[in-house]
Structure 1
C-alpha cells in the first residue's frame, strides 16, 4: 500500500463520527420489541398453565354436582320402592273368592269337600260343603258361591250344627249367589264332620256346577292355629 493511500484512509477514518442518538434509539426499539415478545410469551405460558387448572376445577364441580344428583335420585328411588309392610297371617272370614281350579281341600286339622246333592233335579238343586275338623274350632267362616247361571234363585239353606251358633247371610255378589255362615263369638264347633248346604232353583234342565266354589277359614285347637281350605263341585 502506498503512502498516499494510507493517508487517504486515515483522513477518512478521522472524518467519520458515529451518530450516537440514532444508535441509542435503535437499541431502545430492539429492547422494547424484546420485552413485548417476552411479555407475550409469559401471557401465553400463564394461559397454558391456567387452562388445566380451570378444566380440573370445572370437572371437580361437575363431579360434585353429579354425585349430589345421584344421591338424590337414589333416595327418591328408595322412597318410591319402599317394600310393602309385612302382611298379617290369614284372617278368618277374609273375602278372597276361591277358584275351583286351585283347590286345596286339606290344611292341618281342616279338610273339606264340595258336592251337588244327589236329590237335586231338573228345576232345583242343593250344593253341600262337607267340613272335616280334626280339632275343635273356635272360629269358623264357611262360604258357598253359586254362579248365577240362568234361573238361579235362593230357596233356602241348612247346616248340621245349631242355627243359633251362626250368623247367616245369603245375597248376590259379583255374579254369584253367596251363602256365608259365620260362627258367633264364644261358640265352638267340635271335632267331627259337619255339613253346610245352599238350596236354589235354576233353569229347566241339567245345571253345570263347574263355576261354583266354596271356602272355609277356621281357627283350630288350643294353639288357635289358622287354617283355610277351598275347592269346587263335582
Structure 2
C-alpha cells in the first residue's frame, strides 16, 4: 500500500511506539498527539471520512492498549528486581569466616598439654582376679599444683586393695571411694610442695571378678600448674601404639 494513507498509518504507529516506551506515559498528551496525527493525515480518496468522535474513540482505544502493555512491562520489571533483591538478602554464605579461629582445627587428643604428657595402661603383672591401673605423667617443667584422678569402672566385684605413687607420699593428700559406678582414686599435691620435672607414676590396685577384666570403661584426668600456666590432660587405658 502506498500513498497518503500508508504515510498516515506509519506516522500513527511511530507515535504509538514512542508512547509505549515512556515509563510514566501521559494519557491525555498521547491521545492529543494521536488525534493531531490522524487529522494531519487528511481524507483518503474513495473512502468516507470517519466522524471526529469515531476517530477520537479509536485513538483512545489504541492509546489504552499501549498503556496497558507498557504498564505490564514496567510492573514485570519491578517485580523481577524485587525478587532478585530478596534472593541476595536471604542467600546464606557457606564459606567460613577468615577471622574464625576454630575453622579447620582438629580436636585435641587430651593426652598432652604444653610441657605435660600422660598415658594410661593396665600393669602387665595383673592377673585373673586382680589388676593395677597405671597413670604415667611426664613434665618438662616443675609443677606447683597437681591433682590426679583415676576412675576404674565397676565391672563386677571391683574393690580397692591399695594405691601408690612414685613421688613422696607426704607430698599428697589421697582418697579412694566409689561414686557414679566408678572406683575413684584421687591424689592432690599439698600446698607449698612441688613436683620436679621428670616422669612419675600414679597407680590404683583392685580386685575384680575372676576371669579377667575389660578396662575400656576406665578413665583418668589430671590438672596442673606450671609457672602461671594452667595445664590439663585426660585419657583412657587403651594401649598406645605411637611409641611415645
| Shared fold, TM over 0.5 | yes
Equivalenced residue count is: 131
Of 126, 132, 136, 1:120 maps to 126
Spell out, residue by residue over 1:5-49, the C-alpha distance to the aligned partner (whole angstroms, 9 max, x if none): xxxxxxxxxxxxxxxxxxxxxxxxxxxxxxxxxxxxxxxxxxxxx
**In the alignment, what sits opposite 1:163?**
169
Structure 1 residue 129 displacement after superposition: 0.2
Pair 1:225-2:229 in alignment:
yes
Pair 1:192-2:195 in alignment:
no
Mapping of residues 36-47 of structure 1, within 5 Å: none
**In the alignment, what sits opposite 1:145?**
151
**In the alignment, what sits opposite 2:6?**
none
Are the aligned partners of 1:218 and 1:227 in contact in 2 as well (CA < 8 Å)? yes
Go from structure 1 to structure 2 and tell me whether the alpha carbon gap of 1:103 and 1:213 turns closer, same or farther (over 3 Å shift). Answer: farther
The secondary structure found in structure 1 opposite 2:201 is strand
Structure 1 residue 182 displacement after superposition: 0.1
TM-score normalised to structure 1 length: 0.55
Of 168, 178, 188, 1:172 maps to 178
Return 5+ residue gaps in structure 2 as ranges.
1-107, 239-244
Q: Structure 1 segments of 4 or more deviating over 6 A?
A: none
2:121 and 2:167 map into 1 onto residues whose CA distance is: 19
2:127 and 2:172 map into 1 onto residues whose CA distance is: 29
1:197 and 1:105 map into 2 onto residues whose CA distance is: 17
Mapping of residues 42-191 of structure 1, within 5 Å: 103-191=109-197
Mapping of residues 194-209 of structure 1, within 5 Å: 194-209=200-215
The secondary structure found in structure 2 opposite 1:185 is coil
Of 185, 206, 217, 1:211 maps to 217
1:142 and 1:186 map into 2 onto residues whose CA distance is: 17
2:144 and 2:175 map into 1 onto residues whose CA distance is: 20
> Which has the bigger relative contact order, CA under 8 A and spacing at least 6?
1
Return 5+ residue gaps in structure 1 as ranges.
1-101
Calculate the aligned-residue CA RMSD, in Å. Answer: 1.0
Structure 1 residue 151 displacement after superposition: 1.1
TM-score normalised to structure 2 length: 0.53
Spell out, residue by residue over 1:48-87, the C-alpha distance to the aligned partner (whole angstroms, 9 max, x if none): xxxxxxxxxxxxxxxxxxxxxxxxxxxxxxxxxxxxxxxx
Are the aligned partners of 1:103 and 1:232 in contact in 2 as well (CA < 8 Å)? no
Go from structure 1 to structure 2 and tell me whether the alpha carbon gap of 1:214 and 1:163 turns closer, same or farther (over 3 Å shift). Answer: same
